[in-house]
Amino acid sequence: NAGVTQTPKFQVLKTGQSMTLQCAQDMNHNSMYWYRQDPGMGLRLIYYSASEGTTDKGEVPNGYNVSRLNKREFSLRLESAAPSQTSVYFCASSETGGEGTNEKLFFGSGTQLSVL
Amino acid sequence: GQSLEQPSEVTAVEGAIVQINCTYQTSGFYGLSWYQQHDGGAPTFLSYNGLDGLEETGRFSSFLSRSDSYGYLLLQELQMKDSASYFCAVNSNYQLIWGAGTKLIIKP
């Protein structure tokens, strides 16, 4: 049982290049999330998808787009990468999500992205 | 604004007990979660408190006081493998708001 799988694990981009981070979960979870983690800071939510067919902005959505391709897959796209987007990116999923739920998130192993 | 405060670093001795505090100020509150993250790894879920009181899971316990906007994680019988960063996170309005994390250093 793989859980949450995200690719790639490492990526180096030049300013202005684009790329897509892929994420898939095999736990039949409804909700999926993209976070970024910077040194000395907690995780910050970029976008989330409460269910298949819906996506919503999180705390730091600028410069990113997402696609909930189906129930399993949730991708994150950087259209024109900037040095400020250098970070570790985590994809996560949860069974239900939302207010009042036991918000147990399962995380992928992360993507270390450097933008030069 | 929304914020969670937790100590940046805590040091303890192997076999001892350590408490990591978390205070929060958020626009909505539906529960407090705790996650563990080893260096280079992904966060993993430890516990959740939706109501006031103590939740116990093996060597780890978590406490919540909603009236004080305060919670803590208690780790007992510390082992070297517990060396990691610990994050509190508040479930607020369909999103988790995360603290900056507490690095737990364990000395033999």
pLDDT, tens only, B41-78: 999 999 999 899 999 989 999 999 999 999 999 999 99
Interface size between A and B, measured as CB pairs under 8 A? 68
Q: Please report the pLDDT score of residue A97 as a whole number.
A: 59
pLDDT at A100 over 70: no
Q: Is residue B95 very low, low, confident or very high in pLDDT (cuts 50, 70, 90)?
A: confident
**In the predicted model, what is the mean pLDDT of residues B4-21?**
96
CB atoms within 10 A of CB A49: 21
Torsion angles phi and psi, residue A62, rounded to 5 = -60, 130
Establish if B62 touches chain A: CB-CB under 8 angstroms. Answer: no
Q: Is residue A98 very low, low, confident or very high in pLDDT (cuts 50, 70, 90)?
A: low
Which strand ranges, in their side-by-side order, compose the sheet holding A74-78?
A4-7, A19-25, A74-78, A64-68
Closest-approach residue (CA) in chain B for A43: B98
Q: Specify which residues B97 forms β-bridges with.
A: B90
**In the predicted model, what is the mean pLDDT of residues B28-39?**
91
Report whether B39 contacts B25 (CB < 8 A): no
Q: Is residue A51 very low, low, confident or very high in pLDDT (cuts 50, 70, 90)?
A: confident
Contact A48 B101 (CB under 8 A): no
Alpha carbon distance, N-terminus to C-terminus of chain B: 40
